[in-house]
Structure 1
Amino acid sequence: MKKLSAWLKENKITEVECVITDFTGIARGKIMPCNKFIDEKGIRLPESILIQSVTGDYVDDDVYDVLIDPAEIDMILKPDENAVFMVPFALEPTAMIIHDCYDKQGNPISMSPRNVLKKVLSLYEAKGWKPVIAPELEFYLTKRNADPDFPLEPPIGRSGRQESGRQSYSIDAANEYDPMFEDVYDWCEQQNLDIDTLIHEEGTAQMEINFRHGDALSLADQVFVFKRTVREAALKHNMTATFMAKPIGDEPGSSMHVHQSILDSKTGINIFSNEDGTQTESFLHFIGGQQKYIAACMPLFAPNVNSYRRFLPGTSAPVNVAWGIDNRTVSLRVPDSTPAARRVENRLAGADANPYLAFAATLLCGYLGMLERVAPGKPVQGSGYEESSAESLPLNLEAALECMENSDELKEILSPIFVQAYVEVKRAEYQNFKRVISSWERKYLQMTV
């Protein structure tokens, strides 16, 4: 705590946000004066907040009693000195500090998303491997909308007009929102978020931010902080930013592509490439593992009912477990790169995925592939959109949860309690969703059936 206390005093911090994430990726925790935080001998939170659904509800009582101690005991939160961020949009000097969750005996809480990622990274560390990732995150800017029954619309840009039509890679279209993005870049710099490229994506007022490659845990923290930062910047400029996978019916969905390579921890050399520049067996096995286990991890890549709207026929999202070189129509793309930068891009995850869980899932699939020496299928030449996915990928939340629930490998590595908790929370959310009557049902069934 000495290093952290010195940083807080040096930056004249008066308030501290002590934060963890739940399954959805919502920031939960406590806000306290800086002096109290420094003097505190351990911040505590009820373990039950980890299994709170996106609607604020909990699982049924019979399941709740299995997942949570009947005494409703507290977790012990410990700050990570490498996960400290300024909050540039706060009214007074404020720091957000990401914490890890432990029980009273000092054991990591298995339901914590950050602990899940740390557990997967420890498997790599034991093998002498170091994952390197680079996420690409898409999102939409929209007009403020106080009524969820109304569809979202593009915001008003600098020109005073709404964007119309698709503007892939348009510089002028992206510049319509320059005042907001100036704040985004300034705030990201203040928070040491390692963002790289801004792109106008295919959808109307759809943007993409690329992060520089680096450590998986650090980048999961950064994506988590970035989402909050963009939402705050949009609000400041009378807009909203949404990371829903499919926020607008006739527009493309938003993804979170994850580039992955693995280094030898001692030499720093990419284990996906031989000395002569050819691909290694480890590279092929990594792909094979992703093909074999992605279906079981699908709820971690596509966690919400809305996530699966991104995979409807005719969308630009690849709905398969195929791989190919420099091929954007497959879920597992191998960019055309130098041997030192050889990597696998998982294009399946949605922007709505919890970054800790999505990174853990994709790295776990690759790890199991290398461990089991799983041979991949043949790389796809040409369009992969015709690749059959019916037998390999669950394409709705119900089927995906059942697939995850039946995975012995996930239970063994990530723990049975995490798998059960995650599945039950997502089922509770799905039951809530099914209680809502949609406008489609009223439009087509009210006067006809």
Structure 2
Amino acid sequence: MTTKLDQLTSWLKERKITEVECLISDLTGIARGKIAPTNKFLDEKGMRLPESVLLQTVTGDYVDDDIYYELLDEADIDMFCRPDENAVFVVPWAIEPTAMVIHDTFDKQGNPIELSPRNVLKKVLKMYSDKGWQPIVAPEMEFYLTKRCADPDFPLEAPVGRSGRPEVGRQSFSIDAANEFDPLFEDVYDWCEAQDLDLDTLIHEDGPAQMEINFRHGDALHLADQITVFKRTMREAALKHDVAVTFMAKPITDQPGSAMHIHQSVVDIKTGKNLFSNADGTMSELFMHHIGGLQKFIPELLPLFAPNVNSFRRFLPDTSAPVNVEWGEENRTVGLRVPEAGPQNRRVENRLAGADANPYLVLAASLLCGFIGMAEGIKPSAPVKGRGYERRNLRLPVTIESALERMEACKEGEKYLGERFMRAYVAVKRAEHENFKRVISSWEREFLLLSV
């Protein structure tokens, strides 16, 4: 009988893979793990990592000791990481034949680690499957190409394209502006094809050298894995072509931010029917409740959608990003857009998540909010017709501090995601913010240094 490990072994040997990058995602979305020769990887059938990896901040620091030892074993024990044979990708930019294998994490009793972002998403997907439902998602990733710059005090600038000139102004949907970086994107598409990533279209977005890659709709876990791999792929392609790529939510002053728009729907597992549509093609009650859940709980779990202090710069006035959880049909000025589509393709587009969000956690959060709405019959507000930016109801927290306070008080989050995960995530984000507050910004030096 052929086992899943046998299949993985055959996959690696067929491609003459000599090195394996074994990785997991931490809470911030950073890939952490080990690199091993293929023989050692197959002998050990996985890897071990300290549990503490899941309490690291984006700077590599850790949360305060009192919280750390409440959440983790005082002996700083290992967790056991097992490869997922459905999350194996070639590394086409590597010199030696290399594979990237995403792992799941377990304790020594074989229980899934609660703080693992991938396990959090799997927990939410099980809630759906227990109801006989399957969510379908299609993410859209926005990002900027910039000049490479080693000094973080310098503002980012648009890179020089094939014409020898940097882009100026806003070239939304311009084919020629996107073609300025054809050599880079040829590599991206070749590498993504080699990795079997389900890319759909490339779009030039509003900002200078701001792009968007759309993924085809599919399984949420598989697409979260693909986004993780895609981010690494984009960074490698940018390095090869002597530019940089950033998924920061708001990298450039007075330019549009970068989002991760999430199209989501729910189908019946047995029939494949879209549960968001009635037999006559109209919007179903479950669809209304799904939107109601998104409206009620996105503000409560906003740090999963906007994880960094920079994320909240997207929500400032006149930034072209939605600032509330209003909903409307074919309306891009609200947080929850319902695109024009046939009954089987009816979906809601969550436009609030930043491109900097952890893909596992943001998909888990977006699907969880909708799930609670469906399970508890939460009714949405009336849809918005016309411009929605100025709507004062259903607005979001405006700072990371206030958002973390709301998340900390969210009982539904504890109920569905677990108290340990909620405490750990809030603690990591608070530690990051304390680190941020110690840094003196260029604004302070420019306007306060000689004036106050």
TM-score bracket for the superposition, by shorter chain length: over 0.9
* Partner-residue secondary structure (3-state), 1:214: coil
Q: Tell me, in whole angstroms, the C-alpha distance in 2 between the residues paired with 1:387 and 1:361.
A: 24
Query: What is the deviation of 1:297?
Result: 1.2
1:202 partnered with 2:206 = yes
Paired residue for 1:141? 145
Paired residue for 2:17? 13
Query: What is the deviation of 1:144?
Result: 0.3
Paired residue for 1:47? 51
Q: Tell me, in whole angstroms, the C-alpha distance in 1 between the residues paired with 2:92 and 2:115.
A: 30
Paired residue for 1:410? 413
Paired residue for 2:280? 276
Pair 12,97 (structure 1): closer, same or farther in 2 beyond 3 Å: same
Paired residue for 2:364? 360
1:397 partnered with 2:415 = no
The 5 A counterparts of 1:33-432 are 33-388=37-392, 392-432=395-435
Q: Tell me, in whole angstroms, the C-alpha distance in 2 between the residues paired with 1:196 and 1:392.
A: 32
Q: Tell me, in whole angstroms, the C-alpha distance in 1 between the residues paired with 2:387 and 2:69.
A: 49
Query: What is the deviation of 1:392?
Result: 4.0
Q: Percent identity?
A: 69
Query: What is the deviation of 1:41?
Result: 4.2
1:438 partnered with 2:435 = no
Unaligned runs of 5+ in 2: none
Count of equivalent residues? 448
Task: Calculate the TM-score normalised by the size of structure 2.
Answer: 0.98
Q: Is the 8 A contact 2:172 2:204 kept in 1?
A: yes
2:442 maps to amino acid: S
Q: Is the 8 A contact 2:121 2:364 kept in 1?
A: yes
Query: What is the deviation of 1:185?
Result: 0.1
1:35 maps to amino acid: N
Unaligned runs of 5+ in 1: none
Task: Calculate the TM-score normalised by the size of structure 1.
Answer: 0.99
- 1:94-117 C-alpha deviation (Å, 9 max, x unpaired): 000000000000100000000000
- 1:134-161 C-alpha deviation (Å, 9 max, x unpaired): 0000000000000000000011100111
1:403 maps to amino acid: R
* Partner-residue secondary structure (3-state), 2:151: coil
